[in-house]
Amino acid sequence: MSTVKEAVEVAVPVRTAYNQWTQFAEFPNFMEGVEEVTQIDDTHNHWTTKISGVRREFDTEIVDQLADERIAWRTIGGDTNQRGMVHFQSLDEVHTRVELVMDVESSGPAEKAADMLGMLDRRVKGDMRRFKEFIESRGDESGSWRGRVTPG
């Protein structure tokens, strides 16, 4: 299992950055290879991705969520095994540090080779850079969900 970690500083308040991240259907706007994310309920999402010509569908479950602080998830279905957390840290009234940490288990030979070549790291770095551009160009979130999900 590989761990990928990337952070960006965004020029929006922590509330805005967090609220936008809760809008999973918007992920294809800044995440390369993500074709669609459908929110099933408050804690479950269905993902469709296409990376290097390989289409995958899987479900995720949010296992911990605290407004303006963190969102943690894990996969629960499909042929992808991952878990991760995005953490939000207010730097001042108009700047936020957004840090993404993911543990990903490559499932096939092509994915294992791509992982060894650092492609996953580069993809996540690009996704975080695009999130920064996306939220800063908007200046405001497209929606929000501020409920609490407690671990366990």
**CATH number for the segment(s) 2-138:** 3.30.530.20
Mean pLDDT along residues 10-23: 98
Amino acid in the structure at residue 126: G
Query: Residue 117 corresponds to which amino acid?
Result: L
For the chain, which residues make up each domain, given as ranges?
2-138
What are the E-state strand segments in the chain? 2-10, 34-39, 44-51, 54-66, 70-78, 81-92, 95-105
Which tens digit of pLDDT belongs to each residue from 86-124?
A: 999 999 999 999 999 999 876 666 566 665 666 778 989
